[in-house]
Structures are given as structure tokens and as C-alpha cells.
Amino acid sequence: MPILEGQGVTKYFGGLAAVSNVDFHVDQGEIAGLIGPNGAGKTTLFGLISAALVPNPGLIRFKGEDITGIKPHQICRKGLARTFQSVKIFPNIPVIDNVALGVHFGTPEQATATQAVEEATRLLEFVGLSAQAAVPARDLTLVNQKLLEVARALATKPKVLLLDEIMAGLNHTEVAQAMELVSKIRAQGITILMIEHVMKAIMSVCDRIMVLHHGKKIAEGTPQEIATSETVIKVYLGE
């Protein structure tokens, strides 16, 4: 059974169908990729899955449960976390407190302040931001702000993690590090759905790829199938 699935997922902004009748699924334990040209509806689909937006019409199921129309904090506590393409950190508080907030948000009853800081310390180490723990989050580079969002999302103890273009603007070495990080996250039993434009990363890290274009899912398959799909090549070369 898929851990996450959508049926007929649709979202209009005014007259524009940003996401149009999309069926999708993500299987437990996989790294699934979501690609498509700018404006294809990828981030909007993340908004719908993470309950920031409500599909109309459409249905989203998480762990077999219909979660359509629930609140973002509810979906987070059920075990689904995301990062944001345009980062949404708390700029004026230290990096470590950004992550500790994630611990409290994901597990509101259980964590003491000390436990939250311990867990945040571990997660900053995990994403490679230990040296920046004490600085205000606004002082991080954009690349590191994205890593901070990954740590904060992980702090909520997700079963499924949605990553929205965490590799944008990275150099070759940093892309390689980010790919390793994604693999390390999956190795902890976390299922991943990632939006990415860095084709090399998508092709080597994903088990399966879905392609959106003008709000519609136009292709789905293994990296090999997607790389050789005439439909997909036409969409990208036509841009």
C-alpha cells in the first residue's frame, strides 16, 4: 500500500488550474522525484499534500487515512513534513532554536526543553550545521538555510519528507553532499518525495520519477524511463 496517495488532485488559482486531476502515489521507503518545468504545479502539489492548500476537487490519503482538508499542524503530527522552495526559517533566533521548535511542534507533549535542544544538536550534526548552531538563522547562506529547513522538518519525526528544491544554487560538491544527505535520510526509514531541477541528482537518487507539465502528470517511471521518454524530452526541449 502506498504511504501517500492522491486521486484527482486539482487546485485552481482563479481560472488557472495549477494542479489538474493528478493521481499520484509514493510507496513506503522510496525516494520519489517530482520534476517539471517552472510553473508546472510542483510546489502547489506540495502545498496540497502538506495541507497548506486544500484540493478542490481531489482526495489525499496518508497511511491509508483520508487527510483532505485537515490542518497543516495536524498533517505534521501525523508524520508528514516539508521544506519550502522559498525558505521559511525564523530569521532572528539561533539556528539551533529553529530546529528545537520543530521538535516541540512535532511532539508537543513529550519533549522537554533540554530534550529538544539535544535532539536539535544531533540533527544539526546530521545535516552538517553544527558549527552554525548559535548564530541567528538569518546569517546563514541560502544553501545552509535550506539545510536548516531539512533539520527542522526532520525534528518533527516525519514518516514522509517533502523536499522542495533543496539543491537549487548548489555547486557540484554541495550537490553530491546533498544527495548523500537524502540517501542518509531514507536509510533512517523516512520516505522521500523531492522536487528538484538538478537532473543528475534526480536521476541518480530517485527510485521513481513523476513529471508534471501545466498542472498535469504527463509521465511517470524509473529514471531510465523518464530520461528516454519522448513526451518528457519534448517538454524540456520545448522550453
Ligand X SMILES: Nc1ncnc2c1ncn2[C@@H]1O[C@H](COP(=O)(O)OP(=O)(O)O)[C@@H](O)[C@H]1O
List residues binding Mg ion (CB under 5 A).
42-43, 85
Cell output for 223? 529514471
44, interface contact from Mg ion, ligand X, none, CB < 5-8 Å by kind = ligand X
For ligand X, give the closer residue by CB, 41 or 102: 41
Instruction: From 34-42, 69-77, 127-135, 197-205, give the range in contact with ligand X by CB under 6 A.
Output: 34-42
Q: How far is the CB of 68 from ligand X (least distance, A)?
A: 18
The reply to whether 13 sits near ligand X by the rule CB under 6 A is: yes
Q: Which is nearer to ligand X, 14 or 189 (CB)?
A: 14
Minimum distance, C-beta of residue 198 to ligand X, in the bound complex (Å): 14
Binding site partner of 40, from ligand X, Mg ion, none, Cβ cut-off 5-8 A by kind: ligand X
- Minimal CB distance to Mg ion: which residue? 43
Q: What is the closest distance, in whole angstroms, from the C-beta atom of residue 84 to ligand X in the complex? A: 11
- Reduced to 3 states (helix: H, G, I; strand: E, B; else coil), residue 150 is helix
Map residue 56 onto helix, strand or coil: coil
Give me the sign of the Cα torsion angle 175, 178, 180, 186: negative
CA distance 172 to 155: 27
Question: Which residues share a beta bridge with 213?
Answer: 216
Of 121, 120, 52, give the one whose Cα is nearest residue 85. Answer: 52
Asked, as a colleague might, if the bond just before 57 is cis with ω within 30 of 0, I would say yes
Q: Give the whole-angstrom CA distance, residue 179 versus residue 176.
A: 5
38 lies in the binding site for ligand X (CB under 6 A): yes
Indicate whether 20 belongs to the interface with ligand X (CB under 6 A): no
In 3D space, the residue among 160, 194, 162, 190 whose CA is nearest the CA of residue 179 turns out to be 194
DSSP string across 143-187: HHHHHHHHHHHHHT--SEEEEESTTTT--HHHHHHHHHHHHHHHH
Asked if 39 interacts with ligand X (CB under 6 A), we say yes
Beta-ladder partners of 60: 6
Interface with ligand X includes 102 (CB under 6 A)? Answer: no
Query: Does the footprint of ligand X cover residue 43 (CB under 6 A)?
Result: yes
Look at residue 193 and give the partner it binds from Mg ion, ligand X, none, a contact being a CB closer than 5 to 8 Å depending on partner kind. Answer: none
Applying CB under 6 A, the residues found at the interface with ligand X are 13, 16, 18, 36, 38-44
